[in-house]
Amino acid sequence: MASERLNPSQRGYGRRWRAFARRFADEWIAAGQPCALCGQAMRSTSWVDVDHIAPLVEEPERMFDPMNLRVAHHHCHARRTAQDRAAAERGYRLGVGSDGLPTDDAHPFNRGEVNKCK
């Protein structure tokens, strides 16, 4: 399943996005909100990323939707992106529901391929 990886500008991350994301991250940090991925505090000097909760490839119209955005440390986001990509290559998506269980029916847990807690 080889797909062409577009560069950031081609994917819509142009000047407008960068200005929007910078402001969104500044407001997030000024409000004292922690990293959305590790829960640790963030500083104005932290290298942070603004992440789309619902992937843009699935919901491109939510690019600037504040309800679809979260701020995370760059290193946390990079690790999560790598995990997401690895899962996608194995045919499923990461993510859990409010019950803590994987939401994707294709996840190995939901296919009964890993040991469930008794």
Residues that bind Zn ion (CB under 5 A): 35, 37-38, 73, 76
Alpha-carbon gap, residue 39 to 29, rounded angstroms? 12
Residue-wise burial string across 54-77, b where 16 or more C-beta atoms lie within 10 A, e elsewhere? eeeeeeeebbeeeebbbbbbeebb
DSSP state of 80: H
Taking the complex as a whole, how short is the minimal distance between the CB of residue 30 and Zn ion, in angstroms? 17
Give whichever of 71 and 87 is closer to Zn ion, judged by the CB atom. 71
Residue 40 CB, nearest approach to Zn ion (Å): 5
- CB 99 to Zn ion: min, Å: 24
Closer CB to Zn ion, residue 36 or residue 87? Answer: 36
For Zn ion, the closer of residues 38 and 63 by Cβ is 38
**Element spanning 51, H or E:** strand 48-52
